[in-house]
Structure 1
């Protein structure tokens, strides 16, 4: 299916090799007036959440959207949900397989139950403010990490190619992702988080099921009830619901 037109007033930088697209975004930030997508053929120092190394072979998608937000930091972070929804929209537009994709809290996209994409938000600013936001996105288009290297209980990685037979170039994926994100960004800035929360919950993986949420050294088990208006996970345990703002989730 053809992608929508490239969003108006959004710049685009295509690089062959870079250390990290997020790091490059912050280097561009001082002279960047508006939103900007950065796509790299490969990353030499890609990273995921908690500063973990992110495997970045050629043929996969390594991209970052640079934004200059005006909201308080707590609101800025909610764009991880906009990114997840945009990723799902892009996947569905390219594959025509809406039932195959689900969203895993806090920031992964699943394909047939396996992790196909991840999101990493990083920001820079002064004091409590956020001047620049980098939304880093990695997608396993044709290659995935060795499952044997994943920690016990983690969702196994999958690739778009192996699961669907569809070979998509990173540039083609960006052409679908950028307009999808622009739509959710417009919704977020005009209507707030509520419509994103509703849409995200519609596609949430394991909603209503028992999951484990690990924060540091503590692991809590309970029923994944919802997310609240701050994006926190609401886990129902025997003594009642618990709000968890950040955690690693295991199924």
Structure 2
């Protein structure tokens, strides 16, 4: 798999072993290889450093040694059309883990980045973690790999960090509640893996219960709204090249994960995360 210096890590009872490595090219590539074989749901590789990390839309992803880089193999028993919901569900799982460890200031930025929201309305949120979900097929059928990068410390932005004009970074200490102690690498890796798997399992059960006929995010949509601090705020709709397409109020996310922004003239713009991203607008 191209991983080295495997350290020990305690796992929850019944869960696959979590492999922690010093360095690898890409944890997503490592877990993709596991997924093509017979590795079980929940298999995971976490690294202190990546040398060939990547972000959304094929961008490179800076992966300095001040971070946690972790990928989880997911085999939810849901219709293929519902795989597009996994990204948001995994974001909620990462948030579960962070909140359980005292990082209660962390929140989601549509569709699934983890940010530390600005306390000043004129300031921008800071990015704590990014998530990339990729699908694959193998001996055991279709699967997804959820790749997560978390800043344990505030990194210096250098090179291609995954987008044009990226948000300034936050470190885990920026997200901690007053008086809480920031978790270490091993503790955070274990908590994130377990919480992501738990979230995906609960979501898949809800999908199969028939409550998600309307779309993949139907079972979690209300809770997902609550995790998005930009909901109701004035935002810029930003294309991948950095150009601002529109400015308005972020008013909704639908069951397919698309965001709705209401312009000043009352018209509504609906965008998918592949088309654009949302940024807090300057007044």
TM-score, normalisation: structure 2: 0.76
Asked if 1 retains the 8 angstrom alpha-carbon contact of 2:66 and 2:155, the reply is no
* Aligned equivalent of 2:34: 28
In structure 2, the residue corresponding to 1:249 is in which secondary structure? strand
Secondary structure of 1:190 counterpart: helix
Shift of 1:52: 1.9
Task: Return closer, same or farther for 1:147/1:28 CA change in 2, 3 Å cut-off.
Answer: closer
CA separation of 1:148/1:51 partners in 2, compared to 1, >3 Å: closer, same or farther? closer
**Separation (CA, whole Å) in 2 of partners of 1:13 and 1:32:** 16
Q: Secondary structure at the match of 2:60?
A: coil
1:80-112 CA deviation, whole Å, 9 max, x = no partner? 1111111111111112x53x1221001211124
* Stretches of structure 2 lacking an aligned partner (at least 5 in a row): 1-9, 118-124, 208-216
Give 1:57 shift.
1.9
Q: Give the corresponding residue for 1:110.
A: 115
Alignment of 1:218-237 (within 5 A): 219-237=245-263
Distance 1:183 1:7, change over 3 A: farther
Structure 1 residues 152, 190: closer, same or farther in 2, change over 3 A?
A: closer
Larger Rg belongs to:
2
* Number of the residue aligned with 1:188: 203
In structure 2, do the counterparts of structure 1 residues 58 and 148 end up closer, same or farther at CA, with 3 Å as the change threshold?
A: closer
CA distance in 2, matches of 1:147, 1:26: 27
Query: Which of 205, 208, 222 is 2:229 aligned to?
Result: 205
Q: Is the 8 A contact 1:39 1:62 kept in 2?
A: yes
CA distance in 2, matches of 1:147, 1:111: 20
Which of the two has greater helix per residue?
1
Residues matched between the structures, number? 243
Instruction: Summarize deviations over 1:8-31 as a string: whole Å, max 9, x none.
Output: 343422222211011111112222
In the alignment, structure 1 segments of 5+ residues that lack a partner are none
Decide whether aligned partners of structure 1 residues 209 and 120 sit closer, same or farther in structure 2, where only a CA change above 3 A counts: same
SS in 2 for 1:142: coil
Deviations 1:137-163 (A, max 9, x none): 000012423289877764321111355
Relative to structure 1, the CA distance from residue 53 to residue 147 in structure 2 (aligned partners, 3 Å threshold; closer, same or farther) is closer
Provide the C-alpha distance between the structure 2 equivalents of 1:44 and 1:206, rounded to a whole number of angstroms.
Answer: 33
User: Quick one: which of 156, 178, 202 aligns to 2:193?
Assistant: 178
CA distance in 2, matches of 1:28, 1:248: 31
Which residue is 1:243 aligned to?
270
After superposing the two structures, state which structure 1 stretch, 225-234 or 154-163, moved more: 154-163
Q: Is the 8 A contact 1:68 1:131 kept in 2?
A: yes
CA distance in 2: counterparts of 1:81 and 1:57, whole angstroms: 25
Q: Report the Cα offset of residue 203 of structure 1.
A: 1.6
Does residue 75 in structure 1 map to residue 114 in structure 2? no
Following TM superposition, by how much is the alpha carbon of 1:64 offset from its aligned partner in structure 2, in angstroms?
0.4
Quote the residue 1:214 is aligned against. 238
Answer whether contact 2:106 2:175 (CA < 8 A) is retained: no
For 1:13, which of 5, 11, 19 is the aligned residue? 19
Q: When the two structures are superposed, what TM-score results if normalisation uses the length of structure 1?
A: 0.85
